[in-house]
Chain A
């Protein structure tokens, strides 16, 4: 089964776009057994492709991370309520399991950003550097996962 990488965030809001930027970079590598999705945010309809994957990586921007990126198994419970702006990775995973019968293993790739909140395009220099590091790491991890 494939590894699904979902990079999400709004590229029109500065470093919030680092998730989609990672998705584009990973997709461009054309790694076998890797599917890539890219969106403004997680939504309920991500449940279906998540349920069809063997492993999921949620890539998102993070504030005050204290490191270029953090890669960790997904933990925590899903919230009780859903909003279309507020679907968390935990909620998307729970929906995949409840609706489609498969809740794959999952990691979160949090990538540090600096400039959020303003209507602005493009990543800050620190976010660009963090993105490079995250792409390099994740590409290696995906290659290992494929072996």
Chain B
């Protein structure tokens, strides 16, 4: 090997949205730099300006066809504040929570079974023709069937609470526009035991994988970092729908804690870099170089003091008992964390379905109008922030979105660099399996690049090798 090379993965398969990875190799074949690039941008924040505040929770769902509910609820939470509402009615909050737990459950199930399971079950160095979901289904059709039915269950909950799959209108500024009929409640309750059994089996699958591969996971893209999420006021419990911001350092010490989420901008700054459309948020008190952090399922397992549902609480304790460090840093441990959250969501769905408040009729609250509002929610992929300003004509004049993939931007870049160093540096031949190692590191964050760039769409995947003169010397194409 006598020439520096640039390795490109363009774009990344089984990741939501658009992205490209480049790995720059020096003359000795060692990794100089590894970056995740975003190659498309459409300005959603600008698009939303001029829109009426009432329509924003519906319009923002068009950011992404995969997590529209997260944007719908987050925008509604921001608009609650603008219409002067700090406390929803019990029916409104519980209907929104039901919608959210249905969304997180179905998103996590999709990611685990259909995007990541081929890597987990077959090994991500295994032949590409084997490493796919159809092979899983061939070997274990029941697993594949359950995944589809669990996702369908979550989707049906979304439809029942949001109104419909496209352009759901359930959450409105100040409340909700429907309750849950007893007929629908009974429909969901009839399946909840099965959902819980399947969730626990999926949790066992993820846990066993993470324990079996503990040594490998400890060095695969893993790095101590800061972690942020919402936590419940008071006891610091996991709360996916609402709470205050908590940021812990790698040793588990608080950098900031129980911060009102509307003050996020006093604690975080979004840095811009020349080579990416995605911003790089950092913690103000630490600075741009070292103030990066992670969000998402593993971050939430790190930041939460407890989980308030019994089965997930036990799983949360088991997770921390498996490690002798205050926090857990393995990027692939996100799989374990994700399945704990699926169990938690199923438990929460059961709890809510048994709550008569879901059939309540007090749906909307009004308050004194404000001109600015921030909504924060824990979306499947992590913390999501919507920030709006609205003028006296009810038109949006300012919009800022920080999605979980943006929060994780620097962490993903560092994980890619780590994996590239360990698995590509010094190799004469770059195999498809090596390439997949990079993708596995990215996929563990479950990034949604459409959301991160506020773009819409999709793209296929290409891998390219360039020499020191940027001349293409090798390439590989993977089907989308």
Residues of A within 8 A of B138 (CB): 98
Within B116-141, the residues touching A (CB, 8 Å) are: 118, 128-129, 132-134, 137-138, 141
Are B165 and A98 in touch, CB under 8 angstroms?
A: no
Q: A10-B456, A11-B167, A44-B110 are in contact. Are A83 and B115 (CB under 8 A)?
A: yes
Q: Complex: how many Å from CA A52 to CA B106?
A: 21
Residues of A within 8 A of B115 (CB): 82-84
Residues of B within 8 A of A119 (CB): 42-44, 47, 62, 456
CB distance from B202 to the nearest CB of A (A): 15
B70 at interface (Cβ–Cβ under 8 A)? no
* Contact partner, B65, options A41, A78, A80, A117, Cβ 8 Å: A41
Residues of A within 8 A of B128 (CB): 80
B221 at interface (Cβ–Cβ under 8 A)? no
Residue of A nearest to B149 (CB): A48
* Contact partner, A95, options B129, B148, B155, Cβ 8 Å: B148
Q: Complex: how many Å from CA A7 to CA B98?
A: 27
Q: How many A-B residue pairs have CB under 8 A?
A: 109
Binds A, one of B13-21, B345-353, B426-434: B13-21
Residues of B within 8 A of A41 (CB): 65
CB distance from A88 to the nearest CB of B (A): 9
Residues of A within 8 A of B152 (CB): 45, 48
Interface of A is mostly: loop
Give the number of chain A interface residues (Cβ < 8 Å): 31
A2 at interface (Cβ–Cβ under 8 A)? no
Q: Complex: how many Å from CA A85 to CA B132?
A: 16
A99 at interface (Cβ–Cβ under 8 A)? yes
A118 at interface (Cβ–Cβ under 8 A)? yes
Are B457 and A13 in touch, CB under 8 angstroms?
A: yes
Residue of A nearest to B129 (CB): A80
Residues of A within 8 A of B144 (CB): 95, 98-99
Q: Complex: how many Å from CA A68 to CA B5?
A: 47
Are B14 and A83 in touch, CB under 8 angstroms?
A: yes
Are A44 and B114 in touch, CB under 8 angstroms?
A: yes
* Contact partner, B141, options A10, A45, A80, A98, Cβ 8 Å: A98
Q: Complex: how many Å from CA A85 to CA B456?
A: 11
Residues of A within 8 A of B62 (CB): 10-13, 119
Within B136-158, the residues touching A (CB, 8 Å) are: 137-138, 141, 144-145, 147-149, 151-152, 155
Q: Complex: how many Å from CA A86 to CA B13?
A: 9
* Contact partner, A45, options B132, B137, B155, Cβ 8 Å: B155
Q: Complex: how many Å from CA A11 to CA B43?
A: 17
CB distance from B475 to the nearest CB of A (A): 18
Residues of A within 8 A of B166 (CB): 11, 20, 38-40
A22 at interface (Cβ–Cβ under 8 A)? no
A75 at interface (Cβ–Cβ under 8 A)? no
B66 at interface (Cβ–Cβ under 8 A)? yes
Are B458 and A81 in touch, CB under 8 angstroms?
A: no
Residue of B nearest to A100 (CB): B145
Residue of A nearest to B68 (CB): A40
A124 at interface (Cβ–Cβ under 8 A)? no
CB distance from B238 to the nearest CB of A (A): 24
Q: Complex: how many Å from CA A81 to CA B167?
A: 28
Are B133 and A82 in touch, CB under 8 angstroms?
A: yes
Are B148 and A45 in touch, CB under 8 angstroms?
A: yes
Scan B161-176; emit 1 where CB is below 8 A from any A CB, else 0. Answer: 0001111000000000
* Contact partner, A99, options B65, B137, B457, Cβ 8 Å: B137
Q: Complex: how many Å from CA A39 to CA B159?
A: 11
Scan A64-90; emit 1 where CB is below 8 A from any B CB, else 0. Answer: 000000000000001111111110000
* Contact partner, A79, options B59, B106, B164, B480, Cβ 8 Å: B480
Nearest first, the 9 closest Cβ-Cβ pairs linking A and B are A12-B62, A40-B65, A85-B458, A80-B132, A45-B152, A79-B479, A86-B480, A119-B47, A45-B151
Which B positions have Cβ atoms within 8 angstroms of A?
13-17, 42-44, 47, 59, 61-62, 65-66, 68, 106, 110-111, 114-115, 118, 128-129, 132-134, 137-138, 141, 144-145, 147-149, 151-152, 155, 164-167, 450, 456-458, 478-480
Beyond A45-B151, A81-B118: 17 further Cβ-contacts under 8 Å? A12-B61, A40-B68, A45-B148, A45-B155, A47-B148, A48-B148, A48-B149, A81-B132, A82-B114, A83-B13, A83-B115, A84-B66, A85-B17, A86-B13, A99-B141, A99-B145, A117-B457
